[in-house]
Amino acid sequence: MENTVEQQNSTAQVITPSQLLEHWQGHRRVTRRVIEAFPEKEFFTHSIGGMRPFADMVMELLGIAVPGLKEVVTGETTELQEHFDHGNSKAKLLQWWDEASEEINVLWAKIPAEKFQEVLKLFGQYEGTLHSQVFYFIDNEIHHRAQGYVYLRSLSIEPPFFYDRS
């Protein structure tokens, strides 16, 4: 990629921290609608090809986003935790989702822009620049949510629009 380096301008932002936050929150709004679209039972049980039910994927996303950002802000390592006692209640997971979205805003405000180029290790094992970590959080959410789209289609349910981030 040496041919692009000369064109980089250190004063021009490709994407600012607040734009990246809004990008992520837009995706979180879509994911919330995908959770809502699932019938209660199938949210916790429906599977294709031996894959996890969508509720389990959502728990993974909940286990990464806020705990990951907390590590970024506090510098304290925690263990990745992907199982929470939801009592098979979709409402409970939606509540956690909303609380996490709020907490992401609060934590994000504590991250200085310079930090996005810093290399850090999260959950004691994943090493990379902060921007690569955040993009992993977002991309992993898109990835699993898209699997939820297929689950919904296989249940004859129309998923929310991918491009509507409102």
Point out which span in 60-68, 71-79, 80-88, 101-109 binds a copy of itself (CB under 8 A). Answer: 101-109
Angle (nearest 5°) at CA 44 between 88 and 23:
100
Three-state SS string across 17-74, please? Answer: HHHHHHHHHHHHHHHHHHHHHCCHHHHHHCCCCCCCCHHHHHHHHHHHHHHHHHHHHH
Q: Which is nearer to a copy of itself, 91 or 119 (CB)?
A: 119
Residue from 25, 129, 120, 134 nearest 76 by CA: 120
Interface residue with a copy of itself, options 41, 142, 161, 164 (CB under 8 A): 142
Residue count, binding to a copy of itself (CB under 8 A): 59
End-to-end Cα spacing for the chain: 35
Name residue, tokens 């970024």: 72
Instruction: Please identify which residue in 83, 91, 117, 121 interacts with a copy of itself, judged by CB under 8 A.
Output: 117
From the CB of 105, what's the least distance to a copy of itself, in Å?
7
Binding to a copy of itself in span 11-70, by CB under 8 A: 11-23, 27, 48-51
User: Contact residues for a copy of itself (CB under 8 A)?
Assistant: 1, 3-5, 7-23, 27, 48-51, 105, 108-109, 111-114, 116-117, 129, 131-132, 135-136, 138-140, 142-147, 149-156, 162-163
